[in-house]
Structure formats: structure tokens, C-alpha cells
Amino acid sequence: MKILVINCGSSSLKYQLIDMNNESVLTKGLVERIGIDGAKLEQKTPGKEKYIVETEMKDHKKAIELVFTALTDEKFGAVKSLDEIGAIGHRVVHGGEKITESTLVDEEVKSIIEDCFVFAPLHNPANLLGIKACEEIAPGKPNVAVFDTAFHQTMPASNYMYAIPYEYYEKYGLRKYGFHGTSHNFITNRMAEILKKEKSEINIVTLHLGNGSSLAAIKSGKCYDTTMGLTTLEGLVMGTRSGDLDATVVTFLQEKENLSPAEINNILNKKSGVLGVSQLSSDFRDLENAANEGNKQAQLALDMFVGRVKKYLGAYMAQLGRVDAIVFTGGIGENSKTMRADIVAGMEELGLVLDIKKNDMRGEEALISTDESKIKIYVVPTNEELMIARDTLRFL
Ligand code: AMP
């Protein structure tokens, strides 16, 4: 059985075709600049040359038509006909409160995705366009929506409510939803295998650290708390997002700088985080290099990132009481030995003892704590596309 996984952004689209017999990637591709001049599709099928198409793509439907053509291309493609593809799994960012797990797309699901446009204005409209385009171009093929928020729906109200008048929750659904759920879910499943326990027996903290970052406290295999909130802005200091701040900073800046809601949103989401503090880069490789050369603002940005992660890690360990393992994943979690070491530094008395030698690696699954460490420390590369494909397969 072959499953196509689609991740639609506002002007881009990533896809992978996965053979579920052995979970291997048959081909993967990226479409960029949809609806903008200079649109381009790039596909790489193992053992074949890269396939590049540069042509006008006025919308997501045109982009998906080109993806289907690329998938079935005789020279560069991975399948002879679309009939070989059993179903399509779509990443959808926000599913609100009604969606608690992956689901087969029908009219009701599409209307829920639309209802959540207000909380994910950049992502949900694009996700829905991708689904609708697939329905039109490949009628009859099952489409499954896999939501970033779904895994976090097990949080207790005491963790997901904001302490503002209750009527705003009732009126607008203002609460913490959490994101990166597909990644936290994938890691939780993998950790149950690694620890050789039932999922319902494990308590772990998952640290998804990338351009966007979030931690999740997993209690008895289910999400108990997570750092992102109503949107992907809350929680950790990220590449370009501020994470937590006193809400008065927002109203103060709006007033002093005469900013509209859209403008302040743009500053907090796109111009803040380690980029805003360092005034240099959102990329942790650039920041680590600059800090090593003595750049104080780059060092400050990294220290703020580490400090915030540590603060939530400690909080989640306190919330869980018993912790079997903590797990690093995401671009930074998988690749930066310095960030991993800095985050757990000084937590030996709390049960986290890093093995410096084992930590000296990147991009692989590994146990990086010492034998004496009461709580195990792991690196587990995430694989959101595979998680989406696995969830999609369940519906066939
Ligand atoms: P992601 O959003 O999960 O793809 O992660 C992207 C982030 O991972 C970027 O900030 C990269 O700088 C960071 N990253 C990737 N490789 C490394 C590395 N070797 N050292 C430090 N950071 C890295």
C-alpha cells in the first residue's frame, strides 16, 4: 500500500510518497512560490536524477496537478499510475476542540478546518486548499486529515485554560491547544518501543526543538501539558517567535508604536525570538558560530532559549512526578550537542546526567545519558510524514 503525504503551506507544498509495506520513502518533493512568480517543483526519487519543473502555478490545484504528474513521470516518477496510491494524508495545523484524532475528510471535517482559520490564518486555509484540490483531481481517493492539535486534546482543563474571564473561552474557544502534536505523538510511540513498555505506562518529556519549538509533558502515554498555546506563539523562545511574555508588552507596543493587531502579530511571530534578540539570525548554527566568536547578543539569545527550555523541563518534571525519560528531537534537538548539553547542565541532582561522549553525535537515535542517570536522556529523530502516513493507513 502506498500513501501520499501532503503538507500545504500558504505558498509551498511538501510531499512524500511512502510504501507502507516497509515504510520506505519512494519519492519526495517540494513545490515553492505557488501563486507567485518563479514557481518551482523539485522531486527526488531514490536512484533517479532530481526532477525540476519551473512553470506558472496560479494556485494549489495547479501545484497538486503537477505533483501527480511528477509522481507518475516515466523517467523521474515513483509510480506508473495514481491507482497505486491508496490514500492521501494531509497535515492540518489546527483542529480546535472538536478534533481529537486523525480523521477521514468529509464535509463536516472541512467545515471544522474552516472554523479554525481564525487561529491558524497562515496554515489552515492552505491545508484546506490542498484537500479540496486532491478531491477534485483524484476523486474517490480517501483523504485523511492529521491535525497538529489533536494529540494535545487529552490535556486537563486546568492546564489548557487561560486565567481570563470564562466567557471568552465559551464565546471564542480561547484556550491552549498545543501544536507539533504529530511529532510529540511519533516520539511517544517510539519511546514506548525503546523503553519496552506499554504506551500507557510511560511518563516522558518530549523536547521538539527546531525553528518552531515546543515541549510536552506526556503522562501515561498521553499529553498532559505542552508549551504552545492558542497559536504557535506561546511557550519557548523560538527562531523568530517571542514565546511567553507579559501581555502588557503587546498593548504597550501597540500604543507607543501605533501598531495594528496584524503588525504586532507580525513582530511577535516573524521578528522576535533568537532573531530579534541577536539581530543576526534565526538559525542556531549561525548563532552558535557567532557566540563562539564573541558575539554577545548571539550568546544572550542562546542563553534565553536554553533558560526557557530548562524552566519548562523542570516544570514538567514537577508536574509528572515520575519521569522515565526526556527526549530531544527537531532540527536543534537532533543536531546540536551544545544546546542539549546546556539544557540539562546542572540538573544532575534532579536525575539528569548527560554522557558527554554519547552526546557527541547528531541526527541519530541514541541514549545520551550515563548508566547512573536516574532519568534517561534520548535523542530520537522525528518523522512527522511517517506518522501521518501511519495514521492514514488506519482508515483503509
Ligand atoms: P527544524 O525546524 O526542525 O527543521 O529545525 C531547524 C533548526 O535546526 C534551525 O534553527 C537550524 O539552525 C537547526 N539546526 C540544524 N542543524 C543544526 C546543527 N548542526 N547545529 C545547530 N543547530 C542546527
What would the pLDDT profile of 8-42 be if each residue is shown by its tens digit? 988 999 999 999 999 999 999 999 999 999 999 99
Q: What is the whole-number distance in angstroms between the Cα of residue 209 and the centre of ligand 1?
A: 8
Q: Is 50 in the pocket of ligand 1 (CB under 6 A)?
A: no
Q: What is the whole-number distance in angstroms between the Cα of residue 290 and the centre of ligand 1?
A: 15
Strand partners, 345: none
Q: What is the whole-number distance in angstroms between the Cα of residue 277 and the centre of ligand 1?
A: 18
Which one of 278, 336, 382 would you pick to mutate in the ligand 1 pocket, going by the greatest count of ligand atoms within 8 A of its CB?
Answer: 336
* 244 among known catalytic residues: no
Which one of 30, 335, 384 would you pick to mutate in the ligand 1 pocket, going by the greatest count of ligand atoms within 8 A of its CB?
Answer: 335
User: Whats the size of the chain, residue-wise?
Assistant: 396
Residue 51 falls in which region: left (phi positive, over 0), alpha (psi -120 to 50) or beta: beta
Cα 285 to Cα 101: distance, rounded to the nearest angstrom: 35
pLDDT of res. 122: 85
Nearest CA to ligand 1 atom 17: 335
Closest atom, ligand 1, to C-alpha of 282: 10
pLDDT of res. 244: 98
| Grid coordinates given for 298 | 548571539
- Percent of the chain clearing pLDDT 70 (strictly above): 100
Q: Is 335 in the pocket of ligand 1 (CB under 6 A)?
A: yes
Q: Is 211 in the pocket of ligand 1 (CB under 6 A)?
A: yes
Q: Is 281 in the pocket of ligand 1 (CB under 6 A)?
A: no
pLDDT of res. 10: 84
Helices and strands, number each (H, E), in the chain: 14, 14
- Selected catalytic residue, list 37, 106, 148, 355: 148
- Count CA within 13 A, CB hemisphere, residue 59: 11
Q: Is 381 in the pocket of ligand 1 (CB under 6 A)?
A: no
Q: What is the whole-number distance in angstroms between the Cα of residue 288 and the centre of ligand 1?
A: 11
Q: Is 275 in the pocket of ligand 1 (CB under 6 A)?
A: no
Cα 102 to Cα 119: distance, rounded to the nearest angstrom: 19
Q: Is 328 in the pocket of ligand 1 (CB under 6 A)?
A: no
Closest atom, ligand 1, to C-alpha of 212: 2
pLDDT in tens, 142-188: 999 999 999 999 999 999 999 999 999 999 999 999 999 999 999 99
Give the CA dihedral 247, 231, 113, 19, nearest 10 degrees: 180
Q: Are strands 24-32 and 40-44 parallel, antiparallel or unpaired?
A: antiparallel
Buried b (16+ CB within 10 A) or exposed e, 285-323: ebbbebbeeebeebbebbebbbebbbebbeebbebbeeb
Q: What is the whole-number distance in angstroms between the Cα of residue 81 and the centre of ligand 1?
A: 36
Nearest CA to ligand 1 atom 19: 335
Closest atom, ligand 1, to C-alpha of 330: 3
pLDDT in tens, the chain (396 residues): 999 999 998 899 999 999 999 999 999 999 999 999 999 999 999 999 999 999 999 999 999 999 999 999 999 999 999 999 999 999 999 999 999 999 999 999 999 999 999 999 889 999 999 999 999 999 999 999 999 999 999 999 999 999 999 999 999 999 999 999 999 999 999 999 999 999 999 999 999 999 999 999 999 999 999 999 999 999 999 999 999 999 999 999 999 999 999 999 999 999 999 999 999 999 999 999 999 999 999 999 999 999 999 999 999 999 999 999 999 999 999 999 999 999 999 999 999 999 999 999 999 999 999 999 999 999 999 999 999 999 999 988
